[in-house]
Chains A and B, each alone.
Chain A
Amino acid sequence: MAAVTETLDTVQSVTQSGYKWGFETSIEMDFAPKGLNEDIIRLISARKEEPEWMLEWRLKAYAAWLKMEEPQWARVDHPPIDYQDLHYYAAPKKKAGPKSLDEVDPELLKMYEKLGIPLKERAILAGVDPDTVENTQIAVDAVFDSVSVATTFQTTLRKAGVIFCPISEAVREHPDLVKQYLGTVVPTGDNFFAALNSAVFTDGSFVFIPKGVRCPMELSTYFRINARNTGQFERTLIIAEAGSHVSYLEGCTAPQRDENQLHAAVVELVAMDDAQIKYSTVQNWYPGDSNGKGGIYNFVTKRGACRGARSKISWTQVETGSAITWKYPSCVLHGEDSVGEFYSVAVTNNHQQADTGTKMIHIGKGSSSTIISKGISAGHSNNTYRGLVRMLPSASNARNFTQCDSLLIGDQCGAHTVPYIESRNLTAKVEHEATTSKIADDQLFYCRQRGLSEEDAVSLIVNGFCKDVLKQLPMEFAVEAQKLLAVSLEGSVG
């Protein structure tokens, strides 16, 4: 008991200094005026040098958004967001979208160095040809506020036929592909935040893997919100043609600020016959201080369509940041024998609120899905798993297995599990298992009796709890994620 009380005291004292990524980079910025209207959308579109059809698409989404209301069903609570009090476009001045890496502002490079991104890249960004720098197998697209500032390994990827570029560039360079797929997985009017994103999205990544190609390296996008009072609305579109494979990772951080910042992204994945997409996220947006002041509001729509037979989409997420997380990476399983997977670790501490989970929509015969969700709550936080498994009449012999485990640290936090299951096919099988446990004082004592410090003991127990999910991450990121878990829960118990 004593350990837990102490824990709570420590929890309350740590977070302020606990967020290592809270620095701000001073760079001259080019802002759109605050507020949202058709003119702002025209301005964004013009800055991005977009074709007319793209602008029309945005305006249509904006019209839809005007008629929509913020969803109220999530177990999250926040003061009303003033959508007119935000900048919808912010870009480092000088060159919005440098033509080559050596044009990048040195202040930006310093920031990425501080963040420790594998932008090997300091050399590369300093002007060295990326393809001559070896020993890294990760291509990175770095998005700073509203623009993509650097994408590495372009040449190597292009040789393999892979397109990996900022989505704003894809709109200009590969309009047919973008037109064919954009908004087909998450329609512009899908939900309030997706509609907002469709109207004002500024950058994000575009990935195209042609037929039969195994992407030669991990692809990664790094998102950073830097500017004050700025929303980040990135849009990612990944297309895997028949028989292709790709593994993609996104990471995110933001400076420590007292006011809340809005992040509303949309991610769309398309997998054709036998294609596989593995999408991993390590989300570490600023969570606010220990009293719940500041932090990112993270309202994200992520969805993948398994269009082809035997296609597979796998979402892995480690969510440690944000004041509020509202996020349900989902799979629509059209293809026969297609496979959807969702592996999630969500950590909430202090006053963080997370309402996260997944949707698995089974349409194809023999489609199968696996959901493993691990929620960890500490401090005064609330952590909700919300998941939908829907078996449509066509989904004969479809299967789902769901396991939701919650771990509580202390006695002032909450864990909630809200599964929705709808089956309209008698041959479909749905299994759901859920557990809730607490890090018990006797577990801590057992570890300490063997010589472990309280912090090491918690970290060991939490990592054990998350093991099934962490092992899904690419090796380098699994190590990162473990460290991040330790930092997020620092002092939360011993």
Chain B
Amino acid sequence: MLDIRGLAASIYDKPILNGIDLTVPPGEVHAVMGPNGAGKSTLGYVLSGREDYEVTAGTVTFNGTDLLAMEPEQRAAAGVFLAFQAPIELPGVNNANFLRTALNAIRRAHSEPELDAVQFLKLARAETKRLAMPDDMLKRNVNVGFSGGEKKRNEVLQMAILRPKLAILDETDSGLDIDALKIVAEGVNAQRRPDFSALVITHHQRLLDYLVPNRVHVLLNGRIVRSGGPELAKELEKSGYANLIAEAA
């Protein structure tokens, strides 16, 4: 599904990623962990096509196509979804209208018929119910006046409605209490199917108790320095990144 080879990227000429190799097979959830400044968020931005980042080397193949050659909206249409670490506010833009416009843009790209307001609301309400979110989430303006937890849940709701093939969750667990954390984890678990993969970027092992990954990768100085099964996350929780940093140095 997702195949990253020798990926290097910089922002304003400062190298952040220094040769990443990572493969996420279909149906799997992989966690990317690492200390602050390791390049975790940059990886998410580069995969989704944020313009400020310059790819200096490497390739990214997504379901056989060259992801790096695509515009952000083309990547979205191909099924890449980034749950933002700090979701953006859109004043005056109604959440339901935003999501319907997005969903229809993606459906158009696949030559599928667009959904009218009634069809969309039916779909959206089913998802809010499944995620135990109040219906008024749809009526409010995108992320405006949302608490930190609501913003993160709204990202998960968007993911559930847009049904991506690859979800990149950028520290979606940060700042969440345990109940919100469970809801987010359940939201991702509900998406699990043979053609869905997820890249879960996180600082903490806590989320991975509820969202059990197939693989865990440790990112340090823009490189993956270790990979392992779910037990690696538990190990890191005990020993911290200090040993790895020492090893790398």
Contacts and interface: CB of A to CB of B under 8 A. Distances in A.
A460 B106 contact: no
Given A445-B72, A466-B92, A450 B87 contact: no
Nearest to B98: A460
Interface string A431-470: 0000001001111011111111110100011011111100
B88 A450 contact: no
Contacts of B84: 446, 449
B66 interface: no
A443 B88 contact: yes
Nearest to B73: A448
29 contacts: A1-B52, A440-B88, A443-B89, A445-B51, A445-B72, A446-B87, A446-B88, A447-B90, A448-B71, A449-B48, A449-B49, A449-B81, A449-B84, A450-B81, A450-B102, A450-B105, A450-B158, A451-B103, A452-B105, A453-B73, A453-B105, A454-B73, A456-B105, A460-B90, A460-B98, A463-B92, A464-B92, A465-B92, A467-B92
Contact of A452 (B52, B82, B87, B101): B101
Contacts of B49: 448-449
Chain B CB within 10 Å — which of A448, A453, A454 has the most? A448
Given A442-B88, A456-B105, A449 B76 contact: yes
Contacts of B52: 1-2, 441
A290 to B, nearest CB: 24
B172 interface: no
A452 B102 contact: yes
B87 A445 contact: no
Interface string B12-42: 0000000000000000000000000000000
A452 B88 CA distance: 15
A460 B101 CA distance: 9
A6 to B, nearest CB: 9
Given A1-B51, A442-B88, 10 more contacts: A443-B88, A443-B89, A447-B102, A448-B71, A448-B76, A449-B48, A449-B73, A451-B162, A463-B92, A464-B93
A453 B77 CA distance: 11
B141 interface: yes
A461 B90 contact: yes
B130 interface: no
A451 B73 contact: yes
Interface string A338-349: 000000000000
Contacts of A430: none
B48 A464 contact: no
B98 A450 contact: yes
A3 interface: yes
Contacts of B229: none
Contacts of B109: 451
Contacts of A453: 73, 105
B145 to A, nearest CB: 14
Chain B CB within 10 Å — which of A1, A440, A451, A467 has the most? A451
B148 interface: no
A1 B93 CA distance: 23
Contacts of A454: 73
Interface in B93-110: 93-94, 97-99, 101-103, 105-106, 109
Closest 9 CB pairs of A and B: A464-B92, A464-B93, A450-B102, A451-B76, A446-B88, A448-B72, A451-B105, A451-B106, A2-B51
A452 B106 CA distance: 8
B139 interface: no
A423 to B, nearest CB: 30
A450 B105 CA distance: 9
Contacts of A442: 88
B91 interface: yes
A450 B73 CA distance: 7
A461 B48 CA distance: 21
Contacts of A450: 76, 81, 98-99, 102, 105, 158, 162
A446 B90 contact: yes
B226 interface: no
